[in-house]
């Protein structure tokens, strides 16, 4: 099984002053003395869960184990020299093997080397976070056998010591581990009498669901799980046990990320604008330049904790492989959560979102139109950092807006959104270069501010199918149609054989732009890297035209070309200035490193989830059962659609059973 950790800190031994203790550490005695609560745990352990204490982690896992039907052992506990615990591992009681005994009649071996376990560690926040989980066992488990294990002797009805409900905090811990009952009336409520503590429930920290919403979510997810064995979702409950946050992704979405994981935009428009559905979408860009969904979530609030939970859930879904760059709206809360969960990713701000906020923040100023024009020119036409900062200084000084709070915050974040600062980050065209360009939402046509959650769930599949059809049609168009070239340039002919039509159309504008470039001169021509100055006549302010100089570096030995405009990283293909330099130097083909595989039409992108990615171990009977069950469910779903399909499925299954009956297995 792939090891995936939501922990941004290294999971290894990162402190020199520490030591380790193996064994149960008297945890069972602790449980007996403190009077553990009754009830069942509603959720399996998930990487990223956090708890107030070491004992809470043990209790949580022990409740889960009792419900599933296995015992718990404390395999390892790591201590610092200060005697402070900082890391632990809880395992199934069948983990490992007993030491060999020299007794004449040793007890029979009862352990199986079971891999089921959780690892957790103490974070800087003084909370304990689960950093690794293995749920699969290599032996049979049954909920009926849970009461026979030592670790469960104090859990459940019949505990000798009565539970003392002294404080509201203790009551919250009880509710956290009670079974969640989702119904149309309770919006994800729990089976606890509110009168036991005398405290009124606070619903501010949970999803604001209407009647029937929770049941609609449950029904929808149940149907998806039946149709899609690799459908992934994670539920987050608040301290009252009510639904707070939610994340989900289907198999196609998870596979799509493996192809287009370099750059991801996180769309929080619905949450920020108080939509009825507080949706957060993870959006990528496919080989046609179209939006592709990479995951969805519902959040109760715009807090660092909510965003952090969602990002860790998504990171688990994508097997712990974060994107290289992330684009979001301008939000300090988002920035904090992203720096925590994705510390190595480049965090960029979407220029179109900033421009959408322009009227709201500056619309009341007397010289609004002039300020907007100066802003756009500084952002769009600056080729060097010093040019942008000089243009910004001129704008704030001329219009007297130096102390404007929103503009000051934008300037502080300039390295995250101004194109001149983003030239070293590959953005594949997802971040607009011109302030006038608009990035539309993936669900724009299907989700409006007042759309109810139940209606959105009905339209969700429709939205996915619409985007899937657009991609399929674009694939068909790119592979089967003969593309009409607009120029006789060989660069265009070269890419027309490998690139999708949509990307080729965008590249064509750069090929055509080569003819507006002239007077290409060289500086230091004797060095390994030749500097070219390419002049281009560009249109400015509608009708006026001006000549601009673009510096292009060219290394003939390495076939490397780099333009100061940064087009290749921003959009994913070479600019007209770089093409002009290659053409002038007699280069007939675009160098291979500038022909990106992500835009190619000749790559077969199979959106079927590969079970090997899930760590299927055919030597493990539990894994075999789970894998075969999922495959059979798919056969059942296809077979039920018509009488002909039913006959084919039934005949095939009957044939399989006959073959299995004839197969001799010595292990049986």
Tell me how far apart the alpha carbons of residues 351 and 328 are, in angstroms, rounded to a whole number.
Answer: 10
Tokens of 178: 């009670």
Tell me how far apart the alpha carbons of residues 353 and 659 are, in angstroms, rounded to a whole number.
Answer: 61
117 vs 48 pLDDT, higher one? 117
Lowest-confidence segment of 73-82, 135-144, 309-318, 530-539 by average pLDDT: 135-144
Burial of 403 (0-12, 13-18, 19+ CB in 10 A): exposed
Question: Taking a C-beta distance cutoff of 8 angstroms, is the pair 24, 5 a contact?
Answer: no
Tell me how far apart the alpha carbons of residues 128 and 122 are, in angstroms, rounded to a whole number.
Answer: 4
Kindly report, residue by residue over 589-600, the tens digit of the pLDDT. 999 999 999 999
292 vs 20 pLDDT, higher one? 292
Instruction: Provide the pLDDT confidence category of residue 479 given band limits of 50, 70 and 90.
Output: confident
What does the pLDDT average to over 273-293? 94
295 vs 142 pLDDT, higher one? 295
pLDDT surpassing 50 at residue 14: no
Could you tell me which residues come within 8 angstroms of residue 179 by beta carbon, excluding any fewer than 6 positions away?
39, 40, 41, 42, 190, 191
SS3 call for 397 = helix
Burial of 531 (0-12, 13-18, 19+ CB in 10 A): middle
pLDDT surpassing 70 at residue 147: no
186 vs 549 pLDDT, higher one? 549
pLDDT surpassing 70 at residue 8: no
Burial of 129 (0-12, 13-18, 19+ CB in 10 A): buried
Burial of 73 (0-12, 13-18, 19+ CB in 10 A): buried
Instruction: Provide the pLDDT confidence category of residue 319 given band limits of 50, 70 and 90.
Output: confident
Could you tell me which residues come within 8 angstroms of residue 415 by beta carbon, excluding any fewer than 6 positions away?
421
239 vs 13 pLDDT, higher one? 239
pLDDT surpassing 50 at residue 175: no
State the average pLDDT for the chain. Answer: 79
Kindly report, residue by residue over 346-402, the tens digit of the pLDDT. 999 999 889 988 999 998 888 999 999 999 999 988 999 999 999 999 999 999 999
| pLDDT, position 23 | 43
Tell me how far apart the alpha carbons of residues 443 and 421 are, in angstroms, rounded to a whole number.
Answer: 30
What does the pLDDT average to over 525-533? 85
The dihedral through the CA atoms of 74, 79, 83, 85 has a sign that is negative
| pLDDT, position 637 | 73
pLDDT surpassing 60 at residue 651: yes
| pLDDT, position 587 | 93
159 vs 57 pLDDT, higher one? 57
400-404 own/partner pairs: CB under 8 Å, 24+ apart:
401/362, 401/365, 401/371, 404/362
Q: What is the pTM of this model?
A: 0.64
| pLDDT, position 188 | 39
Instruction: Provide the pLDDT confidence category of residue 165 given band limits of 50, 70 and 90.
Output: very low
Instruction: Provide the pLDDT confidence category of residue 245 given band limits of 50, 70 and 90.
Output: very high
**β-strand pairing of 346-349 with 325-328:** parallel
Compute the radius of gyration of the chain from its Cα atoms: 30
In eight-state DSSP terms, residue 211 is T
612 vs 430 pLDDT, higher one? 430
Tell me how far apart the alpha carbons of residues 600 and 383 are, in angstroms, rounded to a whole number.
Answer: 30
SS3 call for 98 = coil
546 vs 520 pLDDT, higher one? 546
| pLDDT, position 21 | 42
Q: Which residue has the tokens 């402070």?
A: 84
| pLDDT, position 104 | 57
| pLDDT, position 294 | 95
Tokens of 436: 């006038």
Kindly report, residue by residue over 562-610, the tens digit of the pLDDT. 999 999 999 999 999 999 999 999 999 999 999 999 999 988 888 876 5
601 vs 238 pLDDT, higher one? 601
In eight-state DSSP terms, residue 224 is H
Lowest-confidence segment of 139-153, 241-255, 404-418, 500-514 by average pLDDT: 139-153
Question: Taking a C-beta distance cutoff of 8 angstroms, is the pair 135, 116 a contact?
Answer: yes
| pLDDT, position 184 | 28
Tell me how far apart the alpha carbons of residues 278 and 301 are, in angstroms, rounded to a whole number.
Answer: 8
By C-alpha distance, which of 492, 541, 545, 547 is closest to 518?
547
Question: CA separation (Å) from 597 to 267, 483, 499, 560?
Answer: 26, 19, 9, 18
By C-alpha distance, which of 536, 531, 569 is closest to 551?
531
Kindly report, residue by residue over 414-472, the tens digit of the pLDDT. 999 999 999 999 999 887 777 766 667 899 889 999 999 999 998 999 999 999 999 99
Q: Which residue has the tokens 């907007």?
A: 372
| pLDDT, position 667 | 52
Tell me how far apart the alpha carbons of residues 392 and 652 are, in angstroms, rounded to a whole number.
Answer: 71
Question: CA separation (Å) from 435 to 197, 379, 609, 615?
Answer: 55, 8, 38, 45
| pLDDT, position 108 | 60
618 vs 61 pLDDT, higher one? 61
pLDDT surpassing 80 at residue 273: yes
**C-alpha 475 chain-centroid distance:** 26
546 vs 452 pLDDT, higher one? 452
| pLDDT, position 615 | 52
484 vs 265 pLDDT, higher one? 265
| pLDDT, position 393 | 96
Most confident of 2-6, 196-200, 222-226, 578-582: 578-582
pLDDT surpassing 60 at residue 180: no
Question: CA separation (Å) from 586 to 247, 570, 581?
Answer: 53, 26, 9
């Amino acid at each position: 099984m792939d090891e995936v950790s939501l922990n941004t800190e290294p999971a290894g031994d990162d402190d020199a002053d520490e030591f380790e203790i193996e064994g149960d550490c008297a945890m069972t005695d602790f449980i007996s003395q403190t009077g553990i609560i009754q009830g069942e745990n509603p959720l399996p352990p998930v990487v990223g869960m956090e708890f107030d204490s070491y004992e809470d982690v043990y209790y949580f896992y022990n409740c889960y184990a009792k419900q599933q039907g296995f015992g718990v052992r404390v395999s390892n506990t790591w201590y610092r020299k200060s005697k402070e615990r900082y890391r632990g591992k809880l395992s199934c009681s069948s983990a490992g093997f007993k030491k060999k005994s020299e007794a004449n009649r040793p007890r029979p071996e009862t352990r199986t080397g079971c891999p089921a376990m959780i690892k957790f560690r103490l974070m800087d926040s003084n909370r304990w976070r689960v950093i690794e989980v293995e749920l699969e066992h290599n032996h049979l488990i049954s909920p009926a056998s849970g009461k026979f294990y030592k670790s469960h002797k104090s859990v459940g009805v019949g505990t000798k010591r009565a539970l003392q409900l002294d404080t509201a905090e203790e009551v919250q811990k009880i509710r956290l581990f009670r079974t969640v009952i989702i119904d149309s009336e309770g919006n994800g409520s729990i089976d606890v009498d509110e009168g036991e503590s005398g405290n009124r429930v606070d619903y501010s920290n949970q999803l604001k669901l209407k009647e029937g919403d929770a049941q609609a979510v449950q029904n929808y997810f149940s149907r998806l799980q039946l149709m899609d064995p690799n459908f992934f979702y994670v539920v987050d409950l608040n301290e009252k046990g009510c639904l707070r946050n939610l994340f989900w992704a289907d198999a196609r979405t998870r596979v799509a990320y493996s192809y287009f994981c370099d750059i991801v935009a996180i769309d929080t428009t619905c949450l920020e604008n108080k939509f009825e559905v507080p949706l957060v979408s993870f959006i990528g860009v496919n080989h046609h330049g179209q939006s592709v969904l990479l995951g969805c979530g519902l959040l109760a609030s715009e807090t660092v904790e909510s965003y952090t939970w969602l990002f860790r859930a998504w990171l688990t879904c994508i097997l712990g492989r974060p994107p290289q760059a992330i684009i979001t709206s301008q939000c300090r809360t988002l920035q904090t959560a992203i720096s925590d969960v994705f510390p190595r990713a480049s965090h960029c701000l979407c220029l179109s979102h900033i421009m959408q906020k322009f009227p709201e923040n500056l619309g009341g100023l007397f010289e609004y139109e002039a300020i907007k024009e100066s802003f756009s020119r500084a952002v769009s036409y600056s080729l060097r950092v010093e040019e942008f900062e000089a243009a910004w200084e001129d704008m704030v000084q001329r219009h007297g807006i130096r102390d404007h709070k929103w503009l000051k915050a934008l300037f502080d974040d300039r390295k995250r959104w101004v194109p001149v600062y983003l030239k070293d980050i590959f953005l594949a065209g997802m971040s607009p270069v011109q302030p006038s360009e608009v990035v539309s939402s993936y669900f724009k046509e299907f989700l409006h501010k007042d759309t109810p959650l139940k209606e959105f769930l009905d339209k969700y599949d429709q939205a996915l199918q619409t985007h899937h059809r657009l991609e399929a049609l674009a694939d068909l168009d790119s592979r089967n149609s003969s593309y009409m070239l607009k120029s006789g340039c060989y660069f265009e002919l070269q890419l027309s054989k490998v690139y999708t039509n949509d990307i080729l159309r965008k590249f064509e504008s750069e090929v055509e732009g080569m003819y507006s470039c002239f007077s290409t001169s060289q500086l230091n021509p004797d060095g390994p890297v030749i500097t070219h100055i390419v002049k281009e006549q560009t249109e400015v302010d509608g009708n006026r035209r001006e000549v601009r100089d673009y510096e292009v570096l060219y290394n003939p030995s390495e076939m490397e070309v780099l333009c100061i405009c940064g087009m290749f990283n921003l959009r994913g293909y070479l600019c007209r200035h770089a093409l002009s330099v290659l053409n002038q130097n007699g280069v007939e083909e675009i160098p291979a490193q500038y022909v990106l595989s992500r835009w190619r039409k000749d790559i077969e992108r199979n959106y079927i989830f590969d079970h090997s990615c899930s760590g299927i171990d055919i030597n493990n009977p539990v894994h075999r059962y789970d894998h075969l069950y999922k495959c059979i469910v798919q056969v059942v779903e296809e077979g039920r659609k018509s009488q002909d399909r039913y006959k084919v499925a039934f005949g095939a299954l009957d044939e399989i059973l006959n073959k299995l009956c004839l197969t001799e297995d010595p292990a049986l």
